Amino acid sequence: MQPIYMKTLLIAACSFAAAIGAHAQLLMNQGDVYVHLFPTIMYDRALGPGNGPVLPQSIFQFEMSGFDAAAGEEVRWEMFESPVDQIAFSSGLYNTFNPYGNNNIVFGDHWRDLQGSVRLTMVSGSAVLDTYAIGAGLRTGFDTGHFHYETFTPVPEPASLLLLAAGALALALRWRFRR
């Protein structure tokens, strides 16, 4: 094989593997744990005045596809003020199908420093974690405040392995055709 074709093959393989990984979702099987530690939450918008009192709140939402509550699948969610080695300020089991496609947990006066962590544990069954969002409403006055909100898409490690495998395959082909 000519060197120009080998370079093209290598670039194509790496681009394909990177594209698959960039749009991947996280498959969670029974016993799998996903943890997200966030150092801050992005500013989203100002709240009030004129809408009544602004209540401080922390928000955690997640969307899963392939989740079947009828089959007995369950996910445990936990919200932490700091790293996950601390005690969760809120936790629960997600085991019912929400027709809106997400589980929305709103809890009281936490994450005022816009830092914390969340943990999802697949208790039974398997499902795909598509996206999750973290938010915090901060009070600045009786009817004013700031809302911080950010959406995340988890990228699983197998995407990185696919990229590595594509590179190794390209090198092996290069070595084979050079001989």
CA distance 37 to 91: 16
- The set of residues, in sequence order, having a beta carbon less than 8 Å from that of 60 and lying 6+ positions away, is 77, 79, 105, 107, 118, 132, 133, 134, 135
- Note down pLDDT in tens along the chain; length 179 residues: 455 555 555 555 554 444 444 445 788 889 999 888 888 888 787 777 766 676 778 888 887 777 776 677 888 888 888 877 788 888 888 876 554 445 777 777 777 788 888 898 999 888 888 888 888 888 777 777 888 888 887 765 555 566 667 777 887 887 777 76
pLDDT at 158: 57
CA distance 24 to 1: 33
pLDDT, tens digit, 9 for 90 and up, residues 115-145: 888 898 999 888 888 888 888 888 777 777 8
Say which CATH class 25-154 falls into.
mainly beta
Per-domain residue ranges of the chain: 1-24+156-179, 25-154
The three-state secondary structure class of 29 is strand
- The set of residues, in sequence order, having a beta carbon less than 8 Å from that of 144 and lying 6+ positions away, is 46, 47, 48, 49, 54
Instruction: Please state, for a pLDDT cut of 70, what percent of the chain lies above it.
Output: 73
pLDDT at 31: 92
8 Å CB contact between 116 and 81: yes
Tokens of 4: 């120009």
pLDDT at 96: 63
CA distance 112 to 136: 7
